[in-house]
Amino acid sequence: MPTKRLLLGAGLSIFLCFGTALAGTVNVDFSFTGNGTSSSGGSWSWGGGSTTLSSSFDASATLNNSPIGYEIVDVTSGPGTGGAGTVSDPFTFGPSASDSIAIGGCVDIGGSTTCGTLFTGQFVSAQAAENGSGPTVDFTATDVTGTLNPALATALGLSSDNVTGSLASTLFGSLSSSGGSGLTGSGDLSLVGGTVVPEPGSLLLLGTGLIGLAKLVKSRMRG
């Protein structure tokens, strides 16, 4: 019985190590905040009807609490599909074009600095509504899909493609049935990364463990 338990424990440990090396998900949070003035260059606009909503944030941003320097966030929705712009009946937007959301800048993750376009993606659907607390508009998008910068993905331990998530942002301005416009706002893009790429060291550990387990089984059988 002790031998069986020992073998079961060793096999389980190796299995868990192997599973950890091969798969996993990591949440990536891009947070961005505009300064609310036209001098920042940040703004948003929507012409109503089937036109798209476009916005730009270029004040400050963080990635998992790490500051992003020279940050630019550009967002373009898909075409408008209707709605009244209220919380109970928000304006809705259809699927956007590829690369319709882009985040760029420089960020340091674990001592590794990555500069350039950090994330590009698109929205499957989005909506906008006046939130009732002043001249602000809530713009949200579900089923965001896209790609991380390969260097950034490596620093985070992720594969760069098949990244999914959602966007929640607040835009300063006004909105009506004929569209809306305003200054920049703030938002958070929450993403979930894909499969973790196994490291050579993890695979070597797996192989060593299997060899050790085989030797243990052999010696127990002889005994």
pLDDT in tens, 93-126: 999 988 899 999 999 988 889 999 999 999 999 9
pLDDT for res 36: 63
d(CA 49, CA 117): 31
Per domain, the residue ranges of the chain are 1-23+198-223, 25-195
Q: Which of 85, 160, 81 is nearest to 125 (CA)?
A: 81
The predicted-structure confidence for 7-50, as pLDDT tens digits, reads as follows: 333 343 333 344 333 446 778 999 988 766 655 567 899 998 89
pLDDT band at residue 198 under the 50/70/90 scheme: low
* pTM for the model: 0.74
- Tell me the range of 96-100, 145-149, 159-163, 200-204 where mean pLDDT is highest: 145-149
Sequence-separated contacts (24+) of 86-92 with Cβ below 8 Å: 86/129, 86/130, 87/129, 87/130, 87/131, 87/132, 87/138, 89/129, 90/127, 90/128, 90/129, 90/138, 91/46, 91/127, 91/128, 91/129, 91/175, 92/125, 92/126, 92/127
Whether the per-residue pLDDT at 166 is higher than 90: the answer is: yes
Q: Which residues are CB-neighbours of 193 under 8 A, at least 6 positions away?
A: 25, 26, 27, 28, 148, 153, 156, 157, 158, 159, 163
Mean pLDDT of 190-218: 55
For residue 177 the two structure tokens come to 């049935």
